[in-house]
Amino acid sequence: NAGVTQTPKFQVLKTGQSMTLQCAQDMNHNSMYWYRQDPGMGLRLIYYSASEGTTDKGEVPNGYNVSRLNKREFSLRLESAAPSQTSVYFCASRDEDPWTRISYEQYFGPGTRLTVT
């Protein structure tokens, strides 16, 4: 049981390049999330997916797209990277009751450290 895994761990991009951050969870969770964390700050929600086939914007969605490929995988795409997107990106999934959707904790991956020059 690996929990939440993210690839790559580190990435350096030039301005204008594109890339996709991958996230997978093996806990059969319905909900998945992408956050970013800038130096010295708390995490901010970029996008989330309440269930397979659905995605919604979070607090800071501009410049990003997401795909919920299946129940396990939730990817984040930067179409044209900018220096302002230099950050650490965390993926998370959420455990919940299948009937009431009441949940208690999110499980976070180890993060992807992205630098855009």
Q: Pick the closer one to other proteins by CB: 6 or 85.
A: 6
Strand residue runs (E) in the chain:
4-7, 10-13, 19-25, 31-37, 43-49, 56-57, 64-68, 74-78, 87-96, 103-108, 112-116
Residue 79: CB minimum distance to other proteins, A: 24
Of 67 and 108, CB closest to other proteins: 108
Phi, psi of 68 (to 5 degrees): -95, 95
If the CB atoms of residues 14 and 98 are measured against other proteins, the closer one turns out to be 98
Interacting residues with other proteins (CB under 8 A):
4, 31, 33, 35, 40-45, 48, 50, 56, 58-59, 88, 90, 92, 94, 96, 100-111
